[in-house]
Amino acid sequence: MGSSSPSSSSSNYCYYFYRLPLLLALVLSFAGNCNGGKTSSFVRKVEKAIDMPLDSDVFRVPPGYNAPQQVHITQGSLNGGAMTISWVTQDERGSSKVLYGTSEHNLEFSAEGRVTNYTYYNYTSGFIHHCTLRRLKHNVKYYYEVGIDHSPRRFWFITPPQVGPDVPYTFGLIGDLGQSYDSNSTLTHYENNPIKGQTVLFVGDLSYADNYPNHDNERWDTWGRFVERSTAYQPWIWTAGNHELDFAPEIGETKPFKPYRHRYHVPYKASGSTSPFWYSIRRASAHIIVLASYSAYGKYTPQYKWLEAELPKVNRTETPWLIVLLHSPWYNSYNYHYMEGESMRVMFESWFVKYKVDVVFAGHVHAYERSERISNIAYNIVNGECMPTPDQSAPVYITIGDGGNLEGLATNMTEPQPSYSAYREASFGHATFDIKNRTHAYYSWHRNQDGYAVEADSMWFYNRFCHAIDESAKYYS
């Protein structure tokens, strides 16, 4: 649905210029049309998503005294020349050193990390280690070992190619994962998808530990062990969601994001940010901006000022793909979290249009939705122009909060489907964003009830800076 082959781009190109009046007429009719895109007829069996019990295989503690667990890695610098390795030890502090190298048999380098720990109500965390490996070669497989003093465990990762406009790279998209049987199925589908994701862009809401009594932080630990099979081998780029807040004054926990901040580090300083909740990285041909739905973003706030300075710095000649991650969607036609993203949209949407963001990925709503390219920036209180309109400089908005956490699916949609909504479906799944070169990226969404290769929704993205051709079949059919 909504996909058009790359080879049709040249004919679309001609059409665009020679049939402009007809195009305008179609666009105008689109704006006034109440019938939107597609609401999938796929009906998923609605059953309660149940968390995997504590004795599940995926939560097993690795054997050995003080064995490192919950190993996860993330980009450690602006351009991908560093990787931050994190893990937890439970029995004693242990070594924070990482041994690494490009040969499995000779871990010739070492780096010293740091350790932290925290208490939360009556929970005491293990020792949380973070160690950044720097000056890594590009596009190389590195082996690394943690827990070197007692029970060493070895993993590997592949560094990204040097940043450049035509560097192909495949991102996975996962949101609102949690630790239910459905979460496990989503992760398994991501791992087995024939389109092989190299890095996960995670749009927030990790463990859902806060749904347990006293925000039982053991569920932060079980989540870390559950996802280790992916997070130890490829970087996950983190976005903070509302389930990371863990703000619970009723039990004396008044510092927002305490467990998340201790456990998940991000390279925010490298992009001039003053807070780990908003930052940017560059990877391959993409510039990725992570925003914080749960930190202040009004005018003059640190996040506002950072984004205002960040957008002009994006060099589309080097990184043509401009991707934004945030938790609470700006465009959402489900009756869940309805309009929660609206105040941030009002603050930042005109910048996204001005700087031609290619795509915005959000989570929060536990379902899937993809928008047309639309913007809603003309309204000035008195002019009445308060409807989203087609806008080829605007991003596509994708809600991918369908990881499968215990809160279950969002199934109740606003009717009729708004015209800006291209495709929506209440199913669990994940997506991939497969960048081919500076002009083309292939996007697809995968349900976790289908075979691994099945694509339930897909679209060719044409880059907004290098090749800003209308991708939507709608205008031409």
Q: Which residues are catalytic?
A: 337
**Region near ligand NAG per CB under 6 A, out of 21-29, 54-62, 262-270, 451-459:** 54-62
Does the footprint of ligand NAG cover residue 452 (CB under 6 A)?
no
- Between CA 238 and CA 281 the distance in angstroms is 11
Ramachandran area for residue 346 (φ above 0: left; ψ -120 to 50: alpha; else beta): alpha
Q: Which of 57, 108, 112, 250 binds ligand NAG (CB under 6 A)?
A: 57
124 binds, among Fe ion, ligand NAG, none (CB under 5 to 8 A by kind): ligand NAG
Does the footprint of Fe ion cover residue 241 (CB under 5 A)?
yes
Q: Which of 198, 332, 432, 439 binds ligand NAG (CB under 6 A)?
A: 439
Does the footprint of ligand NAG cover residue 356 (CB under 6 A)?
no
CA 201 to chain centre: 3
Question: What residues numbered 180-239 form the site for ligand NAG, per CB under 6 A?
Answer: 181, 184, 188, 214
- Between CA 469 and CA 460 the distance in angstroms is 11
Least gap, CB of 285 to ligand NAG (angstroms):
11
- Between CA 240 and CA 242 the distance in angstroms is 7
Which of 349, 369 has the CB closer to ligand NAG? Answer: 369
Least gap, CB of 242 to ligand NAG (angstroms):
19
Q: Which of 6, 64, 298, 416 binds ligand NAG (CB under 6 A)?
A: 6
Q: Which two tokens stand for residue 322?
A: 């401009």
| H-helix or E-strand spanning residue 236 | strand 236-237
Residues facing residue 124 across a β-bridge: 119
205 binds, among Fe ion, ligand NAG, none (CB under 5 to 8 A by kind): Fe ion
- Between CA 453 and CA 468 the distance in angstroms is 29
Question: What residues numbered 166-205 form the site for Fe ion, per CB under 5 A?
Answer: 205
**Region near Fe ion per CB under 5 A, out of 67-75, 187-195, 281-289, 361-369:** 361-369
Residue 20: how many other CB atoms lie within 10 Å: 10
Who contacts 392 (Cβ-Cβ below 8 Å, separation ≥6)?
373, 464, 468, 470
Does the footprint of ligand NAG cover residue 66 (CB under 6 A)?
no
188 binds, among ligand NAG, Fe ion, none (CB under 5 to 8 A by kind): ligand NAG
315 binds, among ligand NAG, Fe ion, none (CB under 5 to 8 A by kind): ligand NAG
245 binds, among ligand NAG, Fe ion, none (CB under 5 to 8 A by kind): none
- Which of 308, 249, 301 lies closest to 275 in space, CA to CA? 301
Which of 118, 304 has the CB closer to ligand NAG? Answer: 118
Q: Which of 4, 30, 52, 367 binds ligand NAG (CB under 6 A)?
A: 52
Residue type, 194: P
- Between CA 427 and CA 42 the distance in angstroms is 8
Question: What residues numbered 89-128 form the site for ligand NAG, per CB under 6 A?
Answer: 117-119, 122-124
Residue 367: how many other CB atoms lie within 10 Å: 25
- Between CA 477 and CA 474 the distance in angstroms is 6
Which of 261, 440 has the CB closer to ligand NAG? Answer: 440
Question: Is the separation of the CB atoms in 404 and 180 below 8 Å?
Answer: yes
- Between CA 43 and CA 413 the distance in angstroms is 13
The residue count for binding ligand NAG (CB under 6 A) is 24
Question: Is the separation of the CB atoms in 258 and 246 below 8 Å?
Answer: yes
Does the footprint of ligand NAG cover residue 335 (CB under 6 A)?
yes
Q: Which two tokens stand for residue 28?
A: 């105008």
Alpha-carbon torsion (372, 378, 379, 384), positive or negative: negative
**Region near Fe ion per CB under 5 A, out of 184-192, 210-218, 358-366, 415-423:** 358-366
Q: Which of 242, 405, 417, 421 binds Fe ion (CB under 5 A)?
A: 242
Question: Would you tell me which residues interact with ligand NAG (CB under 6 A)?
Answer: 6, 52, 56-58, 117-119, 122-124, 181, 184, 188, 214, 315, 317-318, 335, 412, 436-437, 439-440
